[in-house]
């Protein structure tokens, strides 16, 4: 796991930008503290920070590689892991006579790209973001893995184009790219989307000029040219894979194989463990290969907000060592500015808080952790996926009646039982479902966000994905939407950013090519059965996961933000509002009234308050430059690039 930065000059002279790239590199030194380096020719400057996991003493980057007649044709920087690199290396040696001088996956990747071109990408089992310069064709090629596990940002200006693992490095390189203050202004659409969804959806970021290469996509550009984007992978859930014991065996076999290949490492490996089925399955299967694996769990002192007891029971039954990190409100308030700095863009998911602390704890003992992200999207794990059944009765009502029920719902007070059911039942899926986060309704946002655009709606983000899934089963459509929005916008962002902040590599065996091939064909009967989610996965794991976890309801790192904001966090939140310089964007007195209402217990504003507070902290760091969080940047900058 690493951090990359590549700059492409529009018309030569890249060597003159070498120092600027070196100065921008330390912003992501936490992604790779083991070594760093740069390479350049007249067109390109590449920089790299490495976390050495495979072939620790070799596979240095930037890596130069080429065929025997042109040995320095390619320069590549690559963040991630290709887990089937051993098998690919053997195939390349057999089919093309390839000879390898390192024992790592970077050389395998560039060799595969040389011989197979873009067709190499579907053959990779792993997580990746890379930028490869072809000196012969004078083409820069960059790509991300199928699900967007690893990030890759880009920005372009009159001074050139640059790509990086972290947006901070691109912002630092803005003068070199010829970007002005207007270019770096907030993107109003992305900001409003954040307030509604609690994340900025790809390909946008909150800075107008900085974009992300989308998951499963490829970017190519020549010096001085316009980048072209192409999708090399689109997940399709076709629901034609059968049901019953045979498919359950296929699920178990695919997941067991995935965990085995994800265990490949030359450094210590651990695993995150919650009280749920997903992480428990990963730990149980990892233990088959490494009985001494350590499981790490985060929790809180508040009753009902901790899965520590369940995780401890699981660890005891599996016979694995268990490390627990209990997090206090005071620690959260102290750490949140640092957390937001590492995020690059705000993500208002409180679940990233325990992830931050348990990642720091795990890094004391291991360099790699396995985790259960992706299981819910692939196997139908979210309780909201039961909604097509629970709202089915509304489909039999005439359109005029459904519309009337929708009007009635708007007249009911917020928080009244049944209000949201009426509102959602009155709407077609394309309008009612936009992911797991439902933060601000339009009228709520208009009351606090001064730049509210009433013409922009969540359907501006979701419509394309719904068009692609037209005609699919309703649950599959919801999964498809989440693969393109919630998973890559929230789940994988917090997983990557919170672990890499502590130089810890997180691997996600559920988001594997072969696991997806099994999951994509599951019928709805293997996802939702009555009140039970992930039915097929649960059946597949009967002999792997302890019974006390197998049918346990999903909690998902619950965070007591609701209680904290009524108690010890109230003065902290009030001070954020009092000192914020974002009053031209946010109606701060209105937010203070929300905070007071929440403290009084009359209304639960916790999710909306958290979303706004995280944004205000982000604005104080990246726009006002008033908040200077404690990070490793000062120490790294003092040491300088090597």
Compute CA distances 455 → 203, 458, 585, whole Å.
20, 10, 18
Is residue 513 within 8 Å of 125, Cβ to Cβ? Answer: yes
Q: Give me the pLDDT at residue 552, please.
A: 81
Q: Give me the pLDDT at residue 137, please.
A: 96
Domains and CATH numbers, the chain: 2-231 (3.60.20.10), 245-381+485-550 (3.40.50.620), 387-434 (no CATH), 561-622 (no CATH)
pLDDT digits (tens, 9 = 90+) for 107-140: 999 999 999 999 999 999 999 999 999 999 999 9
pLDDT at 641 over 50: no
pLDDT at 632 over 70: no
Q: Give me the pLDDT at residue 554, please.
A: 66
Q: What is the length of the chain?
A: 642
Q: Residue 57: which region, alpha, beta or left (left: phi > 0; alpha: psi -120 to 50)? A: alpha
Percent of the chain scored above 90 by pLDDT?
85
Q: Give me the pLDDT at residue 310, please.
A: 94
Average pLDDT in the 254-261 region? 98
Strand order in the sheet with 294-300: 321-327, 294-300, 269-272, 368-370, 505-507
Residue 2 annotated to the active site: yes
Of these residues, 2, 221, 283, 594, which one is catalytic?
Answer: 2
Contacts 24+ apart (CB under 8 A), 213-217: 213/129, 213/142, 213/143, 213/144, 213/152, 213/153, 213/154, 213/163, 214/144, 214/148, 215/144, 215/145, 215/146, 215/147, 215/148, 215/484, 215/488, 216/144, 216/145, 216/146, 216/147, 216/148, 217/143, 217/144
pLDDT digits (tens, 9 = 90+) for 156-207: 999 999 999 999 999 999 999 999 888 999 999 999 999 999 999 999 999 9
The CA distance from 29 to 6, in Å, is 15
Q: Give me the pLDDT at residue 633, please.
A: 46
pLDDT at 233 over 70: yes
Q: Give me the pLDDT at residue 416, please.
A: 78
Which residue has better confidence, 441 or 188? 188
Average pLDDT, the chain: 94
E-only strand ranges, 346-441: 368-370
Those residues whose C-beta lies under 8 Å from the C-beta of residue 404, and which sit 6 or more positions away, are: none
The CA distance from 354 to 332, in Å, is 9
E-only strand ranges, 66-125: 74-82
pLDDT digits (tens, 9 = 90+) for 335-360: 999 999 999 999 999 999 999 999 99
Those residues whose C-beta lies under 8 Å from the C-beta of residue 422, and which sit 6 or more positions away, are: 405, 406, 408, 409, 412
């Amino acid at each position: 796991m690493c951090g990359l930065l590549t700059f492409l000059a529009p018309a030569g002279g890249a060597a003159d930008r070498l120092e600027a790239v070196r100065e921008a590199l330390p912003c992501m030194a936490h992604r790779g503290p083991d070594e760093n380096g740069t390479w350049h020719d007249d067109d390109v400057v590449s920089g790299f920070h490495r976390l050495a996991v495979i072939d620790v003493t070799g596979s240095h980057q930037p890596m130069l590689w080429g065929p025997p007649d042109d040995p320095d044709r390619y320069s590549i920087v690559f963040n991630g892991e290709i887990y089937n690199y051993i098998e690919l290396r053997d195939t390349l040696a057999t089919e093309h006579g390839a000879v390898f001088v390192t024992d790592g996956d970077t050389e395998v990747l560039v060799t595969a790209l040389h011989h197979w071109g873009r067709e190499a990408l579907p053959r990779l089992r792993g997580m990746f973001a890379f930028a490869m310069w072809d000196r012969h064709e004078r083409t820069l090629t960059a790509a991300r893995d199928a699900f967007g596990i690893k990030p890759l940002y880009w920005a372009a200006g009159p001074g050139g184009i640059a790509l990086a693992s972290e947006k901070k490095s691109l912002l630092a390189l803005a003068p070199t790219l010829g970007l002005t203050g207007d270019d770096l202004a907030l993107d109003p659409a992305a900001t409003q989307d954040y307030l509604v969804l609690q994340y900025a959806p790809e390909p946008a970021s909150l800075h107008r000029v900085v974009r992300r290469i989308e998951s499963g996509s490829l970017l190519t550009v020549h010096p001085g040219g316009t980048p072209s984007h192409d999708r090399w992978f689109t997940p399709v859930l076709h629901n034609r894979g059968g049901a019953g014991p045979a498919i359950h065996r296929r699920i178990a076999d695919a997941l067991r194989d995935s965990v085995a290949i994800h265990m490949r490492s030359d450094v210590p490996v651990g695993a995150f463990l919650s009280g749920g089925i997903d992480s428990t399955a990963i730990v149980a299967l990892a233990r088959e290969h490494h009985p001494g694996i350590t499981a790490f769990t985060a929790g809180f002192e508040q009753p009902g907000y901790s899965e520590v007891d369940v995780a401890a029971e699981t660890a005891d039954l599996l016979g694995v060592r268990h490390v627990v990190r209990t997090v206090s409100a005071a620690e959260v308030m102290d750490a949140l500015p640092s957390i937001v700095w590492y995020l690059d863009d705000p993500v208002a998911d409180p679940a990233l808080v325990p992830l931050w602390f348990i990642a720091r704890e795990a890094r004391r003992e291991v360099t790699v952790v396995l985790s259960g992200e992706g299981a819910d999207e692939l196997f139908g794990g979210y309780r909201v996926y039961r909604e097509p059944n629970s709202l089915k009765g509304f489909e039999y009502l005439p359109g005029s009646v459904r519309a009337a029920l929708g009007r009635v719902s708007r007249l009911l007070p917020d928080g009244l039982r049944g209000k949201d059911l009426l509102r959602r039942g009155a709407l077609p899926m394309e309008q009612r479902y936009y992911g797991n986060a439902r933060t601000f309704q339009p009228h709520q946002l208009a009351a606090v966000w001064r730049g509210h655009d009433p013409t922009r709606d969540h359907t501006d983000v979701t419509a394309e994905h719904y068009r692609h899934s037209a005609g699919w089963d309703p649950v599959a459509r919801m999964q498809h939407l989440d693969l393109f929005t919630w998973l890559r916008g929230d789940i994988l962002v917090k997983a990557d950013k919170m672990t890499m902040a502590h130089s810890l590599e997180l691997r996600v065996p559920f988001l594997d090519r072969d696991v997806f091939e099994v999951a994509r064909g599951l019928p709805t009967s293997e996802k939702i059965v009555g009140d039970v989610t992930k039915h097929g996965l649960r059946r597949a794991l009967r002999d792997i996961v302890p019974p006390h976890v197998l049918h346990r309801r999903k909690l998902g790192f619950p965070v007591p933000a609701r209680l904290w904001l009524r108690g010890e966090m109230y003065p902290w939140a009030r001070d954020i509002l009092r000192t914020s310089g974002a009053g031209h964007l946010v109606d701060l007195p209105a937010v203070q009234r929300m905070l007071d209402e929440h403290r009084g217990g009359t209304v639960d504003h916790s999710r909306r308050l958290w979303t706004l507070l995280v944004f205000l902290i982000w604005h104080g760091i990246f726009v006002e430059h008033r908040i200077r969080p404690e990070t490793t940047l000062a120490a790294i900058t003092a040491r300088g690039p090597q």
